[in-house]
Amino acid sequence: MGYIEKGTKEFLDTNVALFAGGFNTFAILYSTQPILPYLTKEFGISPTMASLSLSVTTITLAVSMLVMGSLSEVWGRKSIMTFSITAASILAIVTSFTQGFASLLVIRVLQGIVLAGLPAIAMAYISEEVEKTSLGMAMGLYISGNSIGGMGGRIIIGFLTDAFHWRIALGSIGAIGIAASLLFWLKLPPSRHFKAREFEIGKLLNSMESHLKNPGLLRLYCIGFLLMGSFVSLYNYIGFQLIDPPYSLDPALVSFIFVIYIVGTFSSTWMGRLADNHGHHKVLRSAILLMFAGAATTLHMHLVLKVFGIALLTFGFFGGHSIVSSWVGRLASHDRAQASSLYLFFYYAGSSVGGTSAGVFWTNYGWGGVISMITCFLISALFLSTRFSSG
Q: Please tell me whether the overall predicted TM-score, pTM, comes out greater than 0.95 for this model.
A: no
Domain count for the chain: 1
Percent residues over pLDDT 90 in the chain: 42
Mean pLDDT of 270-297: 86
pLDDT in tens, 55-104: 999 899 888 877 776 676 666 688 889 999 999 999 999 999 998 999 99
- The pLDDT confidence band at residue 292, using thresholds 50, 70 and 90, is very high
Residue 267: inside a domain, yes or no? Answer: yes
**Per-residue pLDDT at 337:** 66
- The pLDDT confidence band at residue 273, using thresholds 50, 70 and 90, is confident
Most confident of 6-10, 51-55, 212-216: 51-55
More confident residue, 171 or 267: 171
- Calculate the average pLDDT of the chain: 86
**Per-residue pLDDT at 221:** 94
**Per-residue pLDDT at 69:** 67
**Per-residue pLDDT at 120:** 67
Percent residues over pLDDT 70 in the chain: 93
**Per-residue pLDDT at 291:** 97
**Per-residue pLDDT at 204:** 67
**Per-residue pLDDT at 194:** 66
* 281 contacts 228 by C-beta, under 8 angstroms: no
**Per-residue pLDDT at 389:** 56
pLDDT in tens, 193-219: 667 666 667 766 777 788 888 888 999
Least confident span in 267-276, 286-295, 310-319 = 267-276
- For 295, the domain range is 9-385
Mean pLDDT of 238-261: 85
Mean pLDDT of 227-249: 91
With a cut of 50, say whether residue 21 has pLDDT above it: yes
**Per-residue pLDDT at 253:** 82
**Per-residue pLDDT at 1:** 62
**Per-residue pLDDT at 75:** 67
**Per-residue pLDDT at 57:** 94
**Per-residue pLDDT at 170:** 94
CATH of the domain at 29: 1.20.1250.20
More confident residue, 165 or 192: 165
pLDDT in tens, 307-356: 999 999 999 998 998 888 878 877 776 766 678 778 888 988 898 899 88
With a cut of 50, say whether residue 168 has pLDDT above it: yes
Residue 1: inside a domain, yes or no? Answer: no
Mean pLDDT of 346-374: 92
With a cut of 50, say whether residue 391 has pLDDT above it: no
Mean pLDDT of 26-35: 90
With a cut of 60, say whether residue 248 has pLDDT above it: yes
Residue 277: inside a domain, yes or no? Answer: yes
**Per-residue pLDDT at 196:** 60
Residue 52: inside a domain, yes or no? Answer: yes
Residue 269: inside a domain, yes or no? Answer: yes
More confident residue, 226 or 211: 226
